[in-house]
Amino acid sequence: MEKITCVVGPSGSGKSSLVFHTLANESKRRFLNSLPSSVTFFDRVPQSADVESISPVLPVWILPQHNPIVGSRLNLSDQFELTMDIAKLYFDSYPEKCPIHGESYKNGLEYFTEQCAHVVQDDNDIIHVLIDKSVYQNNISGLPIRSYSTDNDEVTEFVEADQFWELFRIKAKSISTIEKRLLDFPFLQKTGAMLLVFNQTQKIYDHINIESERVCLQCKLEGEAPIREIGELLPFNGVGACPECKGYGSVLNYSKDKLVKFPNRSVKDGAVSILSYSKFSAYEKSFIAALKKNGISLVAPFHEIEKDALPILMNGEGAFPGVLEMLSWLEEKRYKRSVRIFLRSVQTDSTCTLCNGTRISEKAALYRGDANLPKYGELLETDIESLHKLISGLKLTGKEIFVERVLSKLGLAIEFGLGSFKITKKIKELESNEYQKSLLVRYLSYQGSGSLFILDEPSLGLNVKEQRILIEHLKKLSQGNTLVLVDHAEEVQKASDWIIEVGPGAGHLGGDIVYQGPYKKKTEDKLPKLKVVKASKALKVSNIEFEDHKIKQLEIPLGVVSTVASFRESFSKRLLIDVIANDLYSKQFDEKKNYDVKYQVGKYSKHDHFNNIIVYETNIERASGRSTVGTMLGISPFVRKHYASLPVSKSLGLKDGHFSSNSDLGKCPTCEGKGIIEIDMQFLEDVTFPCEDCQGKKLNKFYSNISDGKYTIVEAYNTPIVELFEHIKSTPKLKRIVEYLKLLNLGYLTLDRTLPSLSGGERLRVKFLNTLQKDLENSLLIFTDISYGLSINELVRIRELMVGLTSKGNTLVVIDNHPIFKDFNVINIEVSE
């Protein structure tokens, strides 16, 4: 308790099963079950684990290794939980001056007096103040002396039928005393009554409202209602959000580059990709006819005729309605998922020009609050480092707690290298290591006690210096809280109070606790020395402009493995993936990988064209429960084909599909190939149990028992892949995959192992292997954050595989700050503003 425990071991040894599926989930389940159902109604209660006891049961905070970014609204301020605190620095429920214009507030009666001035023209004028008769009757006993006749447009002796009854009259030269006279009628300000002010002499009148609250004259002139509650400073509701982007900070617009994906082709050869969409293809002939009518070439590249052709394409002419009109037809069918997906595919996300990405309304952006603060909108546009410096010098009476919280989180963000980002930076725009840091800021700034924190690979993407900062804050957090980590970084392991090692191997060779106690340095074999091969030639790219930066020249060594040195790792990724790889792919294959990025590239040095350009990123797409290792690597079809070719299968007329749980031919009809039956218990935990018909085998019970003499099909699916293909005949492609599995220490995996059940390190290596399935030659391969979730022994194997790929003329670029890659060639990125 109140210590740091680090669980270590090879990837796939059972660390996550122990820490997350058992300790975290069961602790959370028991804690939630201890609370009233009214409190936990909207919480998802985890499934129970087979645990005898957990004591004490603490509230659990969990940081998984892979955190899906949900939604496009969230920004760093939301991630740090600062959005409300920053708004509270500004908001004052009863300010002395208008927080927008800085003018002193006037009470309702004072404002009324000033508004009466334009009705007066001469000191001798007689001014009558009247009110609707129904209001008069409800609040005043007795009858007035005079009333206003709308028929005669004058004040006369009292007539009960008239709509407006007089409260009092006053000479214009005494107009300054009108406020005092109004005080005789306290209900006027309470109800915010509307009065008729009539100049009998000049026949001038006006309807003037008595404000029930203090008002700013400038706000009144501009027709702006004052900000009365803090919600009007927040982007999460209709009153505070920017009306243009609805509080998202960005807007979607149709992109010319996505409508015309092949500008180097002619219209005749299919340059206009939007017209290949099935619902629009019928209009291609009318578009061509419109071009012919205007004398525009159909065989010239589109970029040469764009000036004349694009207006016709977008707005239409003659029988051609235009793309904008055609897309508006689809907008009416946005309720269909397929339509929403298609529309998004031809749109690009850009910063909202009205709020400049701050997400708030124009009125909220002008809010100033304390005189020492800049306008609210200006503050939200600053970067984290500047914001920290600004708030550090503030003394806001009564708001010290908010200042302290904001400074604490901003300071932590700066320590983790996020200081150059704006507080409004979208979460979805962050690289994986930056996103990890933003989560750490949120967790490590926790100020409570008595909680259990379970963190999976908190050191992901951190260099040694940042790991030491992490350790410092983990120790602070452990004062009053209990921390359980899963981490491969030696710095983190050394700083932990207790080590639990799971192993000794991975998969069926793991699952045992082989050591518990203080950290002990292992006597490991020295890493094999890497023989660095210097490149004999390089691809030179000059005059790059990207994200307000300029790179005069970038050199990528060819035929070797290189790492990247840059002022910011995330910028390196975007430069090499979104610019270099994207542009090269466009030039060589006539299609971009990413149409949302804006950049300019000067020229390339002479080089042989790459056979392929592949980008490997660590983000793992969601996988369904049916996704398996065999389907992802494309191995399962070989096994199905093997069993379908057996004499018994041929005699029964069985096909490959009869041996697949995803095919109607072979899946168990009762559980539909899932192997389990799930029962939704609504307010209780869902119940799952093995299917009685197939006994959890997923296949039709007759087909599942077909054997080739050594394994039944079910046994084959559940045998380690390396062992299985010692028995089944392999093709050259299959042999290559199996060899890679051995090299990456994944030979213990089975074909039927579902992807969601794999550990983070196993999933990354399977995805890595899937990337390299082709027989790659003379290709450009870019790898990012490949060390995530892997131990040093596993990384050694990956490094060997990378070096081996260069023997076939491949060029590899590694963007990862792990020290195991430091001996490779270095690509220097020198940036100028």
Q: For the chain, what is the domain count?
A: 4
The confidence band for 775, taking pLDDT boundaries of 50, 70 and 90, is confident
What proportion of the chain, given as a percentage, has pLDDT over 70? 95
Q: How far apart are CA 825 and CA 563, in angstroms?
A: 6
Same domain, 606 and 529: yes
CA 323, 328, 330, 336 torsion: positive or negative? positive
Q: Quick check: is 497 in a domain?
A: yes
Segment 411-448, tens digit of pLDDT: 999 999 899 899 999 988 888 788 888 999 999 999 88
Q: How far apart are CA 608 and CA 558, in angstroms?
A: 10
* Overall average pLDDT of the 642-652 stretch: 92
Q: Quick check: is 490 in a domain?
A: yes
Q: Which two tokens stand for residue 341?
A: 């997906």
Say yes or no to pLDDT of 310 above 90: yes
Same domain, 531 and 584: yes
Q: What is the pLDDT of residue 164?
A: 92
Q: Quick check: is 459 in a domain?
A: yes
Q: What is the pLDDT of residue 526?
A: 63
Q: The domain containing residue 140 runs over which residues?
A: 108-215
Say yes or no to pLDDT of 672 above 80: yes
* Overall average pLDDT of the 676-694 stretch: 79
Distances, alpha carbon 666 to alpha carbons 620, 654, 713, in Å: 29, 10, 11
Q: How far apart are CA 79 and CA 424, in angstroms?
A: 10
Q: Quick check: is 315 in a domain?
A: yes
Same domain, 120 and 208: yes
Same domain, 210 and 300: no
Same domain, 489 and 533: no
What proportion of the chain, given as a percentage, has pLDDT over 90? 39
Domain with 795 in it: what CATH number? Answer: 3.40.50.300
In sequence order, the 6+-apart residues with CB closer than 8 A to the CB of 160 are 143, 147
* Overall average pLDDT of the 334-356 stretch: 91
What φ, ψ does residue 498 adopt, rounded to 5°? -145, 140
Q: Output DSSP code: residue 646.
A: S
* Overall average pLDDT of the 55-79 stretch: 82
Say which amino acid occupies 773. Q
The confidence band for 517, taking pLDDT boundaries of 50, 70 and 90, is very high
| DSSP3 helix / strand / coil % (the chain, rounded to 5) | 35, 20, 45
Q: Which two tokens stand for residue 333?
A: 């069918």
Residue pair 589/565 in contact by the 8 Å Cβ criterion: no
The confidence band for 396, taking pLDDT boundaries of 50, 70 and 90, is confident
Q: What is the pLDDT of residue 739?
A: 87
The residue behind tokens 């546009």 is 381
Beta bridge partners of 4: 483
Query: Looking at the chain, how many residues does it have?
Result: 833
Name the more confident of 152 and 545: 545
The distance from CA 524 to its chain's CA centroid, rounded to whole angstroms, is: 40
Strands (E), 686-808: 687-690, 780-784
Residue 730 burial (CB < 10 Å; 0-12/13-18/19+)?
A: middle
* Overall average pLDDT of the 289-306 stretch: 93
Q: What is the pLDDT of residue 683?
A: 61
The confidence band for 833, taking pLDDT boundaries of 50, 70 and 90, is low
Residue pair 713/703 in contact by the 8 Å Cβ criterion: yes
Q: What is the pLDDT of residue 785?
A: 81
Residue pair 125/202 in contact by the 8 Å Cβ criterion: yes
Domain boundary among 345, 361, 389: 345
Same domain, 126 and 181: yes
Q: Quick check: is 645 in a domain?
A: no
Q: What is the pLDDT of residue 346?
A: 92
134: number of Cβ within 10 Å:
10
Say yes or no to pLDDT of 622 above 60: no
Q: Output DSSP code: residue 499.
A: E
Domain boundary among 345, 371, 394: 345
Same domain, 536 and 602: yes
Domain boundary among 498, 517, 536: 517
Q: What is the pLDDT of residue 618?
A: 66
Q: What is the pLDDT of residue 41?
A: 59
Same domain, 510 and 594: no
Say yes or no to pLDDT of 328 above 90: yes
Collapse the DSSP code of 818 into the 3-class scheme (helix H, G, I; strand E, B; otherwise coil) and give the result. Answer: coil
Q: What is the pLDDT of residue 650?
A: 92
Q: Which two tokens stand for residue 624?
A: 């369904």
Same domain, 500 and 528: no
Same domain, 336 and 262: yes
Say yes or no to pLDDT of 354 above 80: yes
Same domain, 62 and 116: no
Q: Quick check: is 394 in a domain?
A: no
Residue pair 725/710 in contact by the 8 Å Cβ criterion: no
- CA-nearest of 512, 491, 485, 505 to 19 is 485
What φ, ψ does residue 40 adopt, rounded to 5°? -105, 15
Helix H or strand E encompassing 398: none
Segment 710-747, tens digit of pLDDT: 999 999 999 999 899 888 888 888 888 888 888 888 88
Q: Quick check: is 750 in a domain?
A: no
The confidence band for 516, taking pLDDT boundaries of 50, 70 and 90, is very high
Say yes or no to pLDDT of 630 above 80: yes
Say yes or no to pLDDT of 371 above 70: no
| Average pLDDT along the chain | 86
Q: What is the pLDDT of residue 210?
A: 84
Strands 452-456 and 60-63: parallel
Segment 442-499, tens digit of pLDDT: 999 998 899 999 998 888 878 888 899 999 999 999 999 999 999 888 899 999 999 9
Of 45-49, 453-457, 653-657, least confident by mean pLDDT is: 45-49
Say yes or no to pLDDT of 620 above 60: no
Same domain, 206 and 290: no
* Overall average pLDDT of the 180-204 stretch: 86
* Overall average pLDDT of the 399-406 stretch: 90
Q: Quick check: is 692 in a domain?
A: no
* Overall average pLDDT of the 155-173 stretch: 90
